[in-house]
Each structure stands twice: as C-alpha cells, then as structure tokens.
Structure 1
Amino acid sequence: MIDLLTTHYNYVASILLFGIGLYVVMGSRNLVKKIIGMNIFQVGIFLFFVTTGYVDGGAPPVVGHGEEAFVSPLPHVLILTAIVVGVSLTAVALALVIRIYDGYGSLDEDVIKEVQVDD
C-alpha cells in the first residue's frame, strides 16, 4: 500500500486537492473563499488529467521518432483550454462578488439571504 502511494503520488495529490477544494466550497459561507475553493478543485482536476496523459518513456508524436510509445497531446491541449476557461470564470465570479458586496454590504451567504428576505 505504501509503495502504491509513493509511486502514484500525483493521484494522491489530485485527490487531496479535490477534497480540500470541495470542503472549502461546501463549508465556507464567504463567497471569496468559495471562489478560492473552486480554483483549488480545478487545480486538482488539471493535475489528474495531466497525470493520466503521462506515458513512461513516451516520445512526442512527431514523424520520424521511430516505433516508440507516443504521448497523446490531447490531455495537455484540454488542460490549456481549461486553464483559460478557469481564469475567465474566476474573473467573472470575482466581478459578481464585487457587485454583491456593493448591493448587500456583505459577502456572507446568511447575511445576504437575510437582506433579501427583509426587502
């Protein structure tokens, strides 16, 4: 069991990042902390996809490299796209948080719900 954890530490790290991100998103009442938790969860997903795309002793998929095992470029391309989408999503979420703070005067979910009920 210990040998499995030491050889596949990337999977362990991605599972830890999943757990930490999910805990922060589910357990926090502050909207900025939820955005940070979402970003931690995204990093766990990125690490998982890059790790699954790794081929031990693999060569780049270029003509003329012989009969070696080739590495698929698809996971890396998907992660590059996901990073761009993640940064854009974070920017939009932070802009919405600023508007929510201007409108309600708080970033706590409970306070925002109380203000909505009072209106």
Structure 2
Amino acid sequence: MTQFVLAGVLGLLFAFGTFLVLRRDIVRVVWGVTIISQAANVYLVTMGGLAGSVPILGHGPPDNPATITDPLVQALVLTAIVISFGTTAFALVLTYRIHEEHGTIDLRELGETGGEH
C-alpha cells in the first residue's frame, strides 16, 4: 500500500515540476527544475530502502541482508541536495540580473528582443 502512495506522490511532484518548467516566468521555471530534482532525490531514497537497520557490525540479522538500508544512496542524495541548493541560488541570481538588464522575466518577451537591451 505504501508503495502506491509513494508512487502517486512522486508522480504528482514530477507532474507539478513539469508544469512549472513549461511556464513563461523564469522564476517558475527555476522552481520547476528544483522540484523535479527533489522528486528524483525522493525516488532514489525510496529505492534505496526506507525500513531497515543500519549497516554497522552487530546490528541486524547477518543472515538477511535485505533488512539493511544502503547508506550510499543516502550520502549521494545528501550531496545532490547541497548541489541543487547552490544551483538554485545561482539560477535565481541570474534571474535577478536578467530582470535588471531587460526589465522582464517573461521568456516570450526575452525571446522577441533577441537578447538586446
């Protein structure tokens, strides 16, 4: 049952992120990319295993490795979250600079001017 709930939530996150990426506002596009990347992180964590014991000697039954949670996935997702935060901050600063230079953050208006200001 929880697998279906997680699949539904992940589907909604990916759909909402895609909806935002297809908007005309640059800020919404940046947030859409951020939501999609976080949904991918949640997907990776759920595929790595949610329930289980930590892989430290003396914990968990050694005869059943299926009950051990893989720590590598969690470390990679933590790294991805930090990189995503930095990338999002950089994209928002670039959006601010575009607004300062062109006076708009509408992608159609920016496309019509051809980058001129």
Shorter-chain TM-score bucket reads: 0.7 to 0.9
Equivalent of residue 85 in structure 1, options 83, 86, 94: 83
Q: Which runs of 5+ in 2 are unaligned?
A: none
Aligned-partner SS, 2:69: coil
Post-superposition Cα deviations, 1:56-82, rounded to whole Å, max 9, x if no partner, equal: 4x2100011242431110111111000
Q: CA deviation at 1:118?
A: 6.2
Contact 1:22–1:41 at 8 Å: present in 2 too?
yes
Equivalent residue for 1:63, pick from 57, 78, 83: 57
Question: Structure 1 vs Structure 2: percent identity of aligned residues?
Answer: 31
**Cα distance change, pair 103–55 in 1 and its aligned pair in 2 (3 A):** closer
Q: CA deviation at 1:94?
A: 0.6
The structure 1 residue matched to 2:101, chosen from 100, 103, 113, is 103
- 1:3 corresponds in structure 2 to none
Distance 2:12 2:116 in 1: 40
Alignment partners' CA distance in 1, 2:17 and 2:106:
18
Q: For 1:39 and 1:90, how far apart are their aligned partners in 2?
A: 7
Tell me, yes or no, if the aligned pair for 1:104 and 1:115 is still in contact at 8 Å: no
Aligned partners of 1:34 and 1:55: how far apart in 2? 31
Confirm or deny that 1:31 pairs with 2:26: yes
Letter aligned with residue 35 of structure 2? I
Contact 1:14 1:48 (C-alpha < 8 Å) held by counterparts: yes
